[in-house]
Amino acid sequence: MVDKSREEYWRRNIKLVVLCMIIWFVVSFGFGIILVKPLNAIHLGGYKLGFWFAQQGSMYTFVALIFFYSNKMGKLDKEFGVEEE
Amino acid sequence: MSLQLMTVLVVGATFILYIYIAIRSKAKDTSDFYVASKGVHPVLNGMATGADWMSAASFISMAGLIAFLGYDGSVYLMGWTGGYCLLAMLLAPYLRKFGKFTVSEFIGERYYSNFARMVAVACLITASVTYVIGQMKGIGVVFSRALGISFEVGIIIGMIIVFIYAVFGGMKGVTNTQIAQYCVLIFAYTVPAIFIALQLTGMPIPQLGLGSTLSDGSGIHLLDKLDTILTELGFAQYTAQKMSTINVLFLTMSLMIGTAGLPHVIMRFFTVPSVKDARASAGWALVFIAILYTTAPAVGAMARMNLMQTIQHGPVGSIDGNIEYAKVPAWFKSWEKTGLLKFEDKNGDGRIQYYDEKGLKTAESFGWKGNEMIKVDRDIMVLANPEIAGLPNWVIALVTAGGIAAALSTAAGLLLAIATAISHDVLKGWLMPDITDQQELKYSRIAIGGAIIVAGYLGLNPPGFAAQVVALAFGLAAASIFPAIMMGIFSKRINDKGAIAGMLAGLGTTLVYIFIYKGWFFFKSTAMLPDNADNWLFGLNPQSFGTIGALINFAVAYAVSLMTDPPPQRIQDLIEDIRVPIASK
């Protein structure tokens, strides 16, 4: 891999990680903690929404996020010809 | 069949299974022993990671903690799962590409310094030993409560079992047994939860049951009802936040960074065949962990509800609102015997009043003379849950086997991390660089045997500070290991001096902050300030300080690195190399 595309690969990787980290932060620290009171005014079935994010929603998002990242990285590897056999 | 006999049979059957697996997966060389020859399928590795991660604390204590903390318990749920996102995206794939055996080895090579490697080894061993004491205690507790044998015998049986499969099989044996242990523990955790969710809400999926209406026909949502019951008795609302927001934020963050920095968890990602598998495996690990972690809040809330309604079965204040002591269910009596549940009839009416004395001002007008449930141990919640719900004996026996599986699998993972650090980092990497692979394998077996004996000894004679050192384990991992690895991958500028200064600064401040409130080296009398919110710096609980320690580590490492020379070219190349899965095609 030439240096230029190596740099590009790394830049795209960082961009993806930053995006995922923002989502990671928003669902847990944002919805589950900082905004928990206003969100609790909304109901999701018998759950108050802020409480749901703190005890359920954030964890579901974490799982989805890792698979999303892993999938995107797989595609990036292919695009740059660095995927493993 | 009696419960005791049933429990012996179920637990015994799981032991035979673990030993059978161990015999089939004997380690032949160090690669087998340390990383299972990097041949573990990512889904199976995820399962093993789940069992490795979910300890006696996750299985037995967490739901109980949530039952009494309500919303505030979320810090553990988010903290102990959110760390996997950090692992998957910031550490695991790169460490797998690095392709060696231990976490400290990475730190040593990346920062071209044996000193850095030994600092990492010291953190790793301290964090793992403190953790393993808790597991040993957990095994002893479960054994003694369920089988009526003594605590000590329980620990020794546990030691023998771990010894058999960890010494022979190393990572290979541990991985294979952990997969089996995951299946046992998750089955044991979810079956009672499903039954209880069905009973209370008519909904078999606990995660949905928690958000459903009660099946008593009232049409009221379970959580609303729980809030009402608790506030009527003067307790805080279940769904409301009680801790200060800043502590909730920092504690959650500390637990996340700590999780990502715990060596026995990181180590698991060395065992998969490729970088791609390391990424996916973190996802699978979190799937298997989330099955238990999303069930736990349902178990917690429903157990609290059952407990409250058993005692206060009628309106608050009316005489027959409270249960008569003579009519309490059998589980109440049997847990009273263990001393984990204590009742004292303060007003002599033969009925039980369970309420918050500070919150319920009208209590005296009912003729109540104080809260009569003087002890309700939080750990009861999971263990007594099936009995409270009136489930059959085999379910209760299964919960015992599950608790033991959770403790054993975590203990084995930790012991392996300790043994690997000793044989590979200290002996092979430093003191005896010339030993052969077979000799190193022998030393790793001796190290793990030694580690089991030390852990067992500490489990039998727990130092007084055992309960508090969990904060220390997470603090160390968060303030030293996690930042050092992350900067090693994401920055080419951080050099040996920066990393060492950063690790020591993060570590030092975290230790000092914990010691000021908990006593120097946990000797209570040497505490310099009372451990409460008024004295905490910015109101920060010592447990939450790992986040600050990590920030200090990052800042110091950057500052020192910028003032000194950048790392040599070969290190720059190493970093370039670990950033891509393969060189090129």
Inside any domain, residue B566: no
Per-residue pLDDT tens over the stretch B399-418: 989 998 998 899 889 998 99
Q: Which of B436, B464, B492 lies at the terminal end of a domain, its last residue?
A: B464
B261: nearest Cα among B540, B439, B475, B520:
B475
Residue B522 confidence class, pLDDT cut points 50, 70, 90: low
DSSP label at residue B354: -
Same domain, B141 and B274: yes
Set of chain A residues whose Cβ sits within 8 Å of the Cβ of B492: none
Q: Which of B212, B239, B253 to mutate: most A Cβ within 10 Å? A: B239
Q: What is the pLDDT of residue B134?
A: 77
Q: Which chain A residue has its CA at the smallest distance from B63's CA?
A: A55
> Residue B292: pLDDT above 60?
yes
CA distance A22 to chain B (A): 11
Per-window interface: A 44-83 vs B, CB < 8 A:
44-48, 51-52, 54-56, 58-60, 62-63, 65-67, 69-70, 73-74, 77, 80-83
Cβ within 8 Å, pair B74-A54? yes
- Residue B270's domain comprises 3-225+234-305+388-464
Q: Is residue B33 part of a domain?
A: yes
In a domain, B149, yes or no: yes
| Residues in chain B within 8 Å Cβ distance of A57 | none
Q: What is the pLDDT of residue B396?
A: 86
For B280, the closest chain A residue by CA position comes to A70
pLDDT in tens, B440-473: 989 988 998 898 898 888 888 766 554 556 667 8
Which of A55, A65, A76, A79 best probes binding to B when mutated, by most B CB atoms within 10 angstroms?
A: A55
Q: For the segment B534-547, what is each residue's pLDDT rounded down to a tens digit?
A: 777 777 888 888 99
Mutate to test the interface with B, among A22, A25, A33, A78 (most CBs of B within 10 A): A33
Contact A84 B252 (CB under 8 A): no
Q: CA of A7: which chain B residue's CA is closest?
A: B576
pLDDT-derived band at B524 (thresholds 50, 70, 90) equals: low
As a whole number of angstroms, the distance between CA B501 and CA B480 comes to: 10
Domains identified in chain B, total number: 2
Per-residue pLDDT band at B80 (split at 50, 70, 90): very high
Question: How sure is the predictor about B519, in pLDDT bands with cuts at 50, 70 and 90?
Answer: confident
> What's the gap in Å between the CA of B87 and the closest CA on chain A?
10
Q: How far apart are CA A78 and CA B286, in angstroms?
A: 25
Tell me which residue has tokens 């553990």: B76
Q: Cα–Cα distances in Å, from A20 out to A12, A64, B92, B188?
A: 12, 10, 15, 34
Domain co-membership, B248 together with B318: no
Shared domain for B286 and B356, answered yes or no, is no
Collapsed DSSP state (helix, strand, coil) of residue B37: helix
**B206 and B173 in a common domain:** yes
For A40, phi then psi, to 5°, come to -65, -15
User: From CA B142, how far away is CA B135, in angstroms rounded?
Assistant: 11
Instruction: State the pLDDT confidence band at B31, using cuts at 50, 70 and 90.
Output: confident
Nearest residue, CB atoms, B582 vs list A29, A54, A82: A82
Cα–Cα–Cα angle for B307, B309, B314, nearest 5°?
Answer: 150
pLDDT digits (tens, 9 = 90+) for B178-234: 999 999 999 999 999 999 999 999 999 999 999 999 988 888 999 999 999 999 999
Within-domain flag for B84: yes
- Find the CB nearest B282 among A58, A66, A83: A66
Q: Which residues of A touch B90 (CB under 8 A)?
A: 17
pLDDT digits (tens, 9 = 90+) for A26-74: 999 999 999 999 999 999 989 999 999 999 999 999 999 999 999 999 9
Residues of chain A positioned with their CB less than 8 A from the CB of B574? none
B127 and B178 in a single domain? The answer is yes
Q: Average pLDDT of B361-387?
A: 87
**Contact between A46 and B89 using a beta-carbon 8 Å cutoff:** no
Question: Are B296 and B311 in the same domain?
Answer: no
| Secondary structure class of B101 (helix, strand, coil) | coil
* Range B307-333 average pLDDT: 90
Q: Give the model's pLDDT for residue B121.
A: 93
Size of interface A-B (CB pairs under 8 A): 143
Whether residue B295 is predicted with pLDDT greater than 90 in this model: the reply is yes
Residue with the bigger pLDDT between B314 and B518: it is: B314
Separation in Å, CA of A26 to nearest CA in chain B: 12
Residue of B82, B224, B297 lying closest to A62 (CB–CB): B82
**Shortest CB distance from A63 goes to which of B208, B252, B287?**
B287
Q: What is the ipTM of this complex?
A: 0.95
Indicate whether B311 and B297 sit together in one domain: no
Say if the Cβ atoms of A21 and B89 lie within 8 Å. yes
Q: Which residue of B has its CA nearest to A45?
A: B211
Dist CA B303 CA B265 (whole Å): 30
A chain contacts of residue B224, beta-carbon cutoff 8 Å: 46
Q: Which of B82, B211, B287 sits opposite A46 (nearest CB)?
A: B211
DSSP string, A11-53: HHHHHHHHHHHHHHHIIIIIIIIITHHHHTTSEETTEEHHHHI
Domain CATH for B281? 1.20.1730.10
Q: Is B541 inside any structural domain?
A: no
Which residue from B78, B274, B585 is facing A28, i.e. has the nearest CB? Answer: B78
Asked if the structure places residue B108 within a domain, the reply is yes
- Chain B touched by A31 (CB under 8 Å): no
Quick one: B286 and B318 in the same domain?
no
Q: Is residue B297 part of a domain?
A: yes
pLDDT band at B39 (very low <50, low <70, confident <90, very high): confident
> B165-179, B208-222, B358-372: which has the minimum mean pLDDT?
B165-179
Average pLDDT over residues B565-576: 95
What are the angstrom distances between the C-alpha of B59 and each of B215, B403, B449, B534, B573?
27, 6, 26, 33, 44
Lowest mean pLDDT among B200-209, B271-280, B507-516: B507-516
Residue of A nearest to B83 (CA): A62
- Phi-psi domain of B353 (left: phi exceeds 0; alpha: psi -120 through 50; beta: other): beta
Is B430's pLDDT higher than 90?
no
Query: pLDDT confidence of A1, banded at 50, 70, 90?
Result: low
Q: Which of A13, A51, A65 to mutate to test the interface with B (most CBs of B within 10 A)?
A: A51
- Residues of chain B in contact with residue A56, where contact means CB-CB under 8 angstroms, are 207, 210, 294, 297
Looking at the fold, whether B68 and B85 belong to one and the same domain comes out as yes
pLDDT of residue B217: 84
B30 within some domain: yes
Averaged pLDDT of chain B:
89
Q: Do B313 and B175 fall within a single domain?
A: no
A69's tokens: 């990242």
Q: B45 with B142, same domain?
A: yes
The answer to whether residues B550 and B487 touch, using CB atoms and an 8 Å cutoff, is: no
Do B109 and B50 share a structural domain? yes
Hey, are the CB atoms on B84 and A66 less than 8 Å from each other?
A: yes
Contact state of A73 with B582 under an 8 Å Cβ cutoff: no
Burial of A18 (0-12, 13-18, 19+ CB in 10 A): exposed
